[in-house]
């Protein structure tokens, strides 16, 4: 892991610099197929909807990345924050049968983040006093009870019929809605980068590793834990807001009982399989878990081609869990850095470093695992 390579800056002579500038061009060209894939493939009619769903998963992945990856706290109740975001924006706009007003749509998005951020702050206040298994249990109970008690109120779930949230006209098509979801992903991605590159992320990682050291460095440990929960909750809430317009209604059944718990579990599994504190890995894992989800047309297509369609249709709600479980096991046993560790040479290359399969600084995913970051 620790190969003694001198820092890049020190070894880059002038000629190397010129060469590395030429390589920028190579990187742009290499990135083009990826960009084309992300932008153009969903333009195909059948793929737009599942792509938007994947974008929502990526947002939730980034949310879990802040909480579990950076702050080192676990949440088994994240479906409650996603659901609360969906509930807030749907009830605020309550379109009936007409398309949403663009202004109210924007207000709804902001409020979904605000509401879930506030709820996460509440959970964080509890989490300050407990850790490990107890924290996992409390978040599990919080998520289930919060969803089952509040989402099922008839005044909030449209008398059990669901609250309609029709998309505003400018993003009414599935592909346009996908582009909107992609823009929201970009916002969350930007926030994640800002968090990690400033004192916020350093403070969170410091308290994840060692709370005593963090406070000796001047980090307000209690405040930063709450901040970690709040940022994570707000991103999850925004994802929920997008989700409400993806399904075009808020239905409590998406977030309560078995469906809700299933969702929460998938979120935790995807952040571990992606690689703790590894942004790229978590996003890739989120896309993967969206594509193998029970609603995925991709899985159905594969099943049809292989002649397993009937079997798949009967068992599709378990198959994604099974895939998740297998991947979780192989991550924990064989590849603790997760998918992020596998992708890291490529991510580093795109970021301007020379391509190398041996990571000179170890890799944050492995470091995070070694630091016994997730106290659960």
Partner 1 sequence: MSVLEVRDLTIRFGGLTAIDGLNLKVDEWEIVGLMGPNGAGKTTAFNCITGFYKPSHGQVFYKGDDVTKLPPHRKAALGIGRTFQNVGMVKSETVLENLLTAQHTKTGYGALQGIAGSGAVRAREKELASRAEAILELLGLGEFRDRRLGALSYGTLKLLELGCALASDPDLLLLDEPSSGMGPEESHQLGDRLLALRKELGVTMLLIEHHVPLVTAVCDYVYVLNFGKLLAEGDPDHVRNHPEVVAAYLGGEAPEELAETEVPDDQQALAEATS
User: Can you give the binding site for partner 1, defined by CB under 8 A?
Assistant: 2, 6-8, 190-191, 193-195, 197-200, 202-203, 205-206, 208-210, 212-221, 227, 231, 277, 360-362, 364, 367-368, 370-371, 373
Shortest Cβ 109–partner 1 spacing (Å) = 17
Shortest Cβ 179–partner 1 spacing (Å) = 23
Shortest Cβ 368–partner 1 spacing (Å) = 6
Shortest Cβ 77–partner 1 spacing (Å) = 23
Q: Extract the tokens encoding 48.
A: 């737009």
Nearer to partner 1 (CB atom), residue 45 or residue 198: 198
Shortest Cβ 227–partner 1 spacing (Å) = 6
Shortest Cβ 131–partner 1 spacing (Å) = 18
Distance CA 58, CA 55 (A): 5
Distance CA 142, CA 340 (A): 30
Nearer to partner 1 (CB atom), residue 160 or residue 361: 361
Q: Treating both helix axes as pointing N-terminal to C-terminal, what angle do 279-291 and 257-274 enclose, rounded to 10 degrees?
A: 140
Nearer to partner 1 (CB atom), residue 77 or residue 233: 233
Shortest Cβ 289–partner 1 spacing (Å) = 25
Shortest Cβ 273–partner 1 spacing (Å) = 19
Nearer to partner 1 (CB atom), residue 51 or residue 364: 364
Nearer to partner 1 (CB atom), residue 115 or residue 205: 205
Assess contact for 177 and 242: CB atoms under 8 A. no
Nearer to partner 1 (CB atom), residue 148 or residue 209: 209
Nearer to partner 1 (CB atom), residue 203 or residue 324: 203
Q: Is the dihedral of CA 205, 277, 247, 321 positive or negative?
A: negative
Shortest Cβ 239–partner 1 spacing (Å) = 17
Nearer to partner 1 (CB atom), residue 10 or residue 357: 10
3-state helix/strand/coil string of the chain: CCCCCCCHHHHCCHHHHHHHHHHHHHHHHHHHHHHHHHHHHHHCHHHHHHHHHHHHHHHHHHHHHHHHHHCCCCCCCHHHHHHHHHHHHHHHHCCCCCCCCHHHHHHHHHHHHHHHHHHHHHHHHHHCCCCCHHHHHHHHHHHHHHHHHHHCCCCCCCCCCCEECCCCHHHCCHHHHHHHHHHHHHHHHHHHHHHHHCHHHHHHHHHHHCHHHHHHCCCCHHHHHHHHHHHHHHHHHHHHHHHHHHHCEECHHHCCHHHHHHHHHHHHHHHHHHCCCCHHHHHHHHHHHHHCCCCCHHHHHHHHHHCCHHHHHHHHHHHHHHHHHHHHHHHHHHCCCHHHHHHHHHHHHHCCCCCCCCCCCCCHHHHHHHCCCCCC
């Amino acid at each position: 892991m620790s190969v003694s390579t001198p820092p890049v800056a020190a070894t880059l002579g002038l000629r190397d610099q010129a060469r590395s500038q030429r390589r920028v061009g190579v990187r742009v060209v290499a990135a083009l197929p990826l960009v084309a894939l992300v932008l153009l493939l969903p333009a195909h009619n059948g793929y737009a909807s599942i792509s938007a769903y994947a974008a929502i998963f990526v947002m939730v992945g980034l949310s879990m990345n802040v909480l579990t990856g950076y702050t080192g706290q676990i949440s088994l109740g994240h479906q409650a924050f996603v659901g609360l975001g969906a509930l807030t924006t749907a009830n605020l706009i309550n379109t009936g049968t007409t398309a949403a007003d663009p202004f109210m749509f924007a207000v709804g998005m902001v409020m979904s983040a605000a509401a879930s951020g506030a709820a996460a702050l509440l959970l964080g206040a509890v989490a300050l006093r407990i850790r490990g298994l107890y924290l996992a249990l409390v978040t599990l109970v919080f998520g289930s009870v919060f969803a089952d008690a509040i989402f099922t109120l008839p005044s909030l779930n449209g008398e059990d019929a669901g609250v309609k949230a029709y998309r505003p006209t400018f993003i009414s098509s599935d592909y346009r809605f996908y582009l909107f979801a992609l823009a929201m992903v970009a916002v969350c991605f930007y926030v994640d980068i800002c968090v990690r590159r400033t004192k916020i992320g350093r403070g969170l990682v410091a308290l994840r590793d060692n709370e005593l050291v963090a406070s000796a460095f001047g980090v307000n440990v209690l405040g930063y834990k709450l901040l970690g929960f709040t940022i994570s909750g707000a991103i999850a809430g925004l994802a929920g807001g997008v989700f409400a317009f993806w399904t075009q209604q808020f239905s409590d059944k998406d977030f309560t009982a078995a469906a809700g718990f299933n969702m929460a579990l998938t979120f935790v599994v995807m952040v571990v399989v992606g690689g703790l504190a590894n942004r790229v890995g978590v996003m890739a894992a989120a896309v993967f878990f969206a594509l193998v989800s029970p609603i995925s047309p991709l899985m159905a297509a594969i099943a049809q081609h292989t002649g397993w369609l009937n079997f798949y249709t009967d068992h599709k709600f378990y198959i994604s869990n099974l895939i998740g479980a297998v991947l979780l096991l192989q991550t924990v046993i064989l590849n603790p850095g997760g998918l992020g560790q596998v992708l890291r040479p490529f991510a580093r290359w795109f970021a301007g470093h020379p391509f190398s399969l041996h990571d000179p600084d170890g890799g944050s995913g492995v470091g995070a695992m070694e630091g016994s970051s997730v106290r659960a």
